[in-house]
Amino acid sequence: MPDAPSPHRRRVRYQGTHPRHFKEKYKELDPLAYADEAEKVRARGQTPAGTHRSIMVGEILAALAPKPGERALDVTLGYGGHARELLRRILPGGFLLGLDVDPLELPRTEVRLRAEGFGEEALQVRRMNFGGLAGLIPQTGPFDLVLADLGLSSMQIDNPDRGFTFKVEGPLDLRLNPQKGRPASAFLRSLSEGELAELLAENADEPLAVPLARALATHPAPLDTTTRLAEALRTVLSRDHGLERDDPETRRTLQRTFQALRIAVNEEFKVLDQFLACLPRALRPGGRVAILSFHSGEDRRVKKAFQEGLRTGLFAEVAEAPTRATLQEQADNPRSKPAKLRWAIRA
């Protein structure tokens, strides 16, 4: 008996002439089918919903200098924009292994890259946290090129179901892998006032860490959504510190708080330290690594690891200072403003 045909699924309907919510943007969310529409969004200086604009592509390619036949490792595959450009330069004969911890976005990225003609002989993907690099290298051997982009992808930020943005209502989740660990709402409830203050100071350099921690720890209602946490922060900033709701410093405080929780929930500093400790073993002699960071704590760890590697002879050369996105790129893509790129060459 033949299989029954799949029922037709109508697209999400929306009010008015243009979609307002993430799930309604069916054209942007399917850039393969609606490439022209996605290009119009990019031409306006925006990033189409569910996609990502890769940061500092030219600078990364200059640091890694990919050549045909080389083996590359992208430990944060994301949307695949950096990987695509690397593949174009290491083929023919080259190979790229892409890692990502996100079980929702990784399959979509693989579909896009396969559709562009990158087969199994050139590209393989694996769902894993790059903190587990030490267990991977004995299986794969070292690489000529290693890339780590430590920033969030726009797909994660824009989707309110992931809980990464305070702009719209969503669960306070903040997990890169929503199938593992505790969401940020549960993690936040487990912290004492002192622990929360320490976290805000360490993970976000928050100058109001102590009063904010006191307000959140004593908040009468559960802070289980993005907007409830944002509202609690705006209230204390307005009441106790005279900051208007739309004040730029209010926005920066919200960003720092969400960032601090995200780093803690995903143990991002611990994962980065594990990666950096194993990194020299992942590189062939003369191999190049480029790391794109978006937080002072990340950049300090990368700088220290590279300088220590240079001192001990593991690295032959390291970046003397971080490279920043050009003013034009920062204007075209504001999410590139905090990015810092450092590179090193294996001895």
DSSP letter string, 71-96: EEEES--TTSHHHHHHHHHHTTT-EE
How confident is the model at residue 253, as a pLDDT? 95
Residue 151 has a pLDDT of 81
What pLDDT, on the 0 to 100 scale, is given for residue 334?
Answer: 87
Burial classification of residue 155, based on how many CB atoms lie within 10 Å of its CB (0-12 exposed, 13-18 middle, 19 or more buried): buried
Encoded amino acid at 148, one letter: A
* Amino acid 51: pLDDT: 60
Neighbours of 311 (CB within 10 A): 10
What pLDDT was estimated at residue 24?
45
Q: Please give the Cα distance from 8 to 11 (Å, whole number).
A: 10
Determine how many CB atoms are found less than 10 A away from the CB of residue 334. 12
Residue by residue, pLDDT tens for the chain (347 residues) are 445 554 555 655 656 655 554 554 545 555 556 556 655 655 555 555 556 689 999 999 999 999 999 999 999 999 999 999 999 999 999 999 999 999 988 999 999 999 999 999 999 999 999 999 999 999 999 999 999 999 877 667 777 888 778 888 899 999 999 889 999 999 999 999 999 999 999 999 999 999 999 999 999 999 999 999 999 999 999 999 999 988 999 999 999 999 999 999 999 999 999 999 999 999 999 999 999 999 889 999 999 999 999 999 999 999 999 999 999 999 988 889 999 999 999 99
Helix (H, G, I), strand (E, B) or coil at 146: strand
Considering the entire predicted model, what is its pTM? 0.83
Q: What is the DSSP letter of 68?
A: T
d(CA 339, CA 68): 28
Task: Give the residue ranges of DSSP H helices in the chain.
Answer: 35-43, 57-64, 81-90, 105-115, 133-140, 154-158, 184-189, 193-204, 209-217, 226-241, 248-265, 268-278, 296-312, 327-332
| Alpha carbon distances (Å) from 79 to 13, 59, 149, 213 | 26, 18, 11, 35
- Who's near 332: CB < 8 A, 6+ residues apart? 45
**In the prediction, which pLDDT does 35 show?**
58
pLDDT (0 to 100) of residue 166: 83
Q: Name the DSSP letter for residue 31.
A: T
Q: What is the pLDDT of residue 165?
A: 82
